[in-house]
Amino acid sequence: MTLDTERRILQLLIAMVALFSLSAAVVSIFRGPGWLGYLGSVPTDLDSHFRYLSGELLAIAIGLFTCIPRIEARGYRFRTLGFIIVAGGLARFVSLWQVGHPSQGHMVAMAVELIVMPLLLGWQAFLASRWRGMRMPLLS
């Protein structure tokens, strides 16, 4: 596989994570926590906080999209966004540990946050180092 092909695959996977985040954010902002299947009334403060965090998820998704065109050169931005995503996954894990298993959708999100994202972060760093090596002129 060529380095450019590997770069395209990484870009595609990041786009998938960004689309997943974008869709969850938009639905959550406009529908609130009710779309998750909770049938009871949600306290106003909890609804507000849920939608606030959904707005942050929207910003993270947009940030991920800005990394895609030049993923090999966007390491700092990508690592920053990745750190935020992993931190959210760790917080979600605390909930799992203290409160119990959430729905399947939340378990999938946690897997993306704690498994997929760290793998993408490592892959981006590895790709970027090899990309720089290819682009550097030979010293003689």
pLDDT in tens, the chain (140 residues): 899 999 999 999 999 999 999 999 999 999 998 888 777 788 999 999 999 999 999 999 999 999 999 999 999 999 999 999 999 999 999 999 999 999 898 999 999 999 999 999 999 999 999 998 876 555 54
Distance (Å, whole) CA 140 – CA 123: 31
Domain ranges of the chain: 3-34+45-129
For 96, residues 6+ apart whose C-beta sits below 8 A from its C-beta are 102, 110
User: Which residue pairs from 57-61 have beta carbons closer than 8 angstroms and sit at least 24 positions apart in sequence?
Assistant: 57/21, 57/24, 57/25, 57/28, 58/21, 58/22, 58/25, 58/26, 58/29, 60/21, 60/84, 60/85, 61/18, 61/19, 61/21, 61/22, 61/25
